[in-house]
């Protein structure tokens, strides 16, 4: 395509040698991480000075940062309990164990999620069954229902890139089949679905506080639930001595692994939690402004924006529109990069390994495990995988142009992003 044949209306494209539209540098996409400041410093220093680095005890008696974090996190999400753990993957595994998922069980996971969602299923000895996403890029309820067998025990809807899954449809199917619902909220701290915070809708929620996430303590995770027994089992999974500490009866004790959160992480996460509403307010504001300003050109030159199940509730950290073909998506992203919009990407490319797409989950697809056959040996039917098994997901992701929306964008950044996107799309 030459510049002339694309009928450029707002200046020569940078990919064709024109001046880039984005001049001011974009902030790195570490929403919570970029807001680390004096509050985190003071909180960590307080812990260090007390020498109490372990949540359950230290040289002097005193309050635990992790315990305070749990209380405040549960309040924010709207659940009775929150349990702090060492990572989002650990939160998923602890929640699955707490929901009594184990060998012989199948768990349905979406084809578009970080590999941890499936890895946690394997970690508790169960088998992941992969289902399609729809044009919201979250679990397709129809394919979820299609994939249910008599061995299905649970489903993990994932609120991808700050955006809620179709929880009404998923809950109603899950209830009909008596399945447990574990929400994967790793990428959507603080977002909500029709007035309910994510992580409070299913039987349990799992959050991540890893460095890329909306809130961060470098590493960390949270399990949320309102069910006492689920909380107790998660507690025992995350701390091998929990039943002794909590005085729980030995005949109800389950064995677990230690994946506790340290007081240092708790101190950082607690300071971050105070910043959540500000982060959400800013990213939502930038996303709204950007979306409005590119809406006409997206409507006329592309296949439209990603479908959203609750536009007001989503975290606002990403924006997606679909092109007609993967080639067009790749061209648009190359042109946006040339304009200086380095926060843009195509969500799936066959030749570029990315653990967000099941197609690239080689260890799962090949059932590579540390012991012979892994959990698949316990499965009562053959669950096998194929790289092409979710063609709709691959088609959607291959045509999806994604933009990171940092809460730390300035109005100037947003203005330049608008110019770049309009310029590139108008040229098509």
Ligand X SMILES: Cc1ncc(COP(=O)(O)O)c(C=O)c1O
Task: Enumerate binding residues for ligand X (CB under 6 A).
Answer: 87-89, 113-114, 116-117, 158, 184, 186-187, 208, 210, 221
Cα angle value 168/169/170 (rounded, 5°): 95
* Beta carbon nearer to ligand X, 244 or 353: 353
CA angle centred on 221, ends 215 and 224, rounded to 5°: 100
Q: How far is the CB of 113 from ligand X (least distance, A)?
A: 5
Q: What is the largest CA-CA distance in the chain?
A: 77
Residue 109: CB atoms within 10 Å: 31
User: Of the two residues 184 and 232, which places its CB atom closer to ligand X in the complex?
Assistant: 184
Closest of 415, 285, 282 to residue 340, by C-alpha: 415
Closer CB to ligand X, residue 221 or residue 326?
221
Three-class SS string for 128-165?
EEEECECCCCCECHHHHHHCCCCCEEEECCECHHHCCC
What minimum distance in Å lies between the beta carbon of 246 and ligand X? Answer: 25
Give the nearest distance from C-beta 254 to ligand X in angstroms: 21
Which strands, in side-by-side order, build the sheet including 81-85? 81-85, 221-225, 204-208, 180-184, 152-155, 106-110, 127-131
Residues forming beta bridges with residue 154, ordered by sequence position? 107, 180
Q: Is 65 a catalytic residue?
A: no
Residue 95 CB, shortest distance to ligand X, in Å, is: 11
Measured from the CB atom, the residue of 117 and 225 that comes closer to ligand X is 117
Query: Which residue among the candidates 65, 153, 180, 213 is catalytic per the annotation?
Result: 213
The secondary structure of residue 260, as a DSSP letter, is B
Q: Is the CB of 182 or the CB of 421 nearer to ligand X?
A: 182
Which residue in the shown chain puts its C-beta closest to ligand X? 88
Q: Are 294 and 420 in contact (CB under 8 A)?
A: no
The number of C-alpha atoms within 13 Å of 181 and in the hemisphere containing its C-beta is 29
Least distance (Å) between residue 355 CB and ligand X: 9
Which active-site residues does the annotation give?
A: 213
């Amino acid at each position: 395509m030459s510049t002339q044949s694309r009928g450029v209306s707002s200046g020569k494209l940078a990919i064709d040698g024109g001046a880039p539209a984005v001049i001011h540098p974009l902030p790195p996409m570490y929403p919570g991480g970029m807001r680390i400041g004096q509050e985190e410093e003071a909180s960590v220093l307080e812990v260090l000075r007390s020498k109490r680095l372990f949540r359950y005890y230290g040289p002097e008696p005193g309050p635990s940062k992790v315990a305070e974090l749990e209380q405040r996190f549960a309040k924010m999400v709207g659940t009775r309990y929150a349990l702090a753990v060492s990572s989002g993957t650990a939160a998923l595994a602890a929640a699955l164990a707490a929901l009594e998922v184990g060998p012989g069980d199948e768990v349905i996971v979406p084809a578009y999620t970080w590999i941890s969602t499936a890895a946690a299923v394997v970690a508790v000895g169960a088998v992941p069954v992969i289902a399609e996403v729809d044009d919201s890029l979250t679990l397709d309820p129809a394919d979820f229902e299609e994939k249910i067998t008599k061995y299905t025990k649970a489903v993990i809807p994932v609120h991808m890139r700050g955006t809620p899954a179709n929880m009404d449809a998923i809950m109603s199917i899950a209830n009909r089949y008596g399945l447990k619902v574990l929400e994967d909220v790793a990428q959507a701290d603080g977002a909500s679905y029709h007035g309910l915070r994510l992580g409070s809708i299913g039987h349990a929620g799992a959050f991540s506080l890893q460095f890329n996430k909306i809130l961060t303590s470098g590493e960390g995770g949270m399990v949320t639930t309102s069910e006492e027994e689920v909380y107790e089992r998660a507690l025992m999974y995350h701390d091998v001595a929990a039943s002794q500490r909590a005085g729980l009866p030995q005949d109800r004790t389950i064995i677990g692994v230690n994946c506790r959160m340290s007081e240092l992480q708790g101190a950082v996460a607690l300071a971050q939690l105070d910043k959540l509403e500000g982060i959400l307010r800013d990213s939502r504001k930038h996303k709204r402004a950007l979306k409005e300003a590119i809406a006409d050109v997206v409507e006329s030159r592309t296949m439209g924006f990603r479908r959203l199940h609750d536009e007001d509730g989503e975290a606002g950290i990403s924006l997606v529109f679909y092109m007609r073909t993967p080639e067009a998506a790749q061209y648009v992203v190359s042109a946006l990069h040339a304009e200086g919009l380095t926060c843009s990407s195509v969500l799936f490319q066959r030749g570029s390994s990315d653990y967000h797409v099941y197609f690239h989950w080689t260890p799962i697809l090949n059932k590579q495990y540390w012991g012979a056959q892994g959990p698949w040996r316990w499965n009562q039917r053959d669950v096998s995988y194929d790289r092409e098994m979710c063609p709709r997901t691959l088609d959607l992701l291959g045509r999806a142009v994604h933009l990171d929306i940092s809460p730390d964008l300035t109005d100037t950044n947003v203005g330049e992003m608008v110019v770049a996107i309009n310029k590139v799309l108008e040229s098509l």
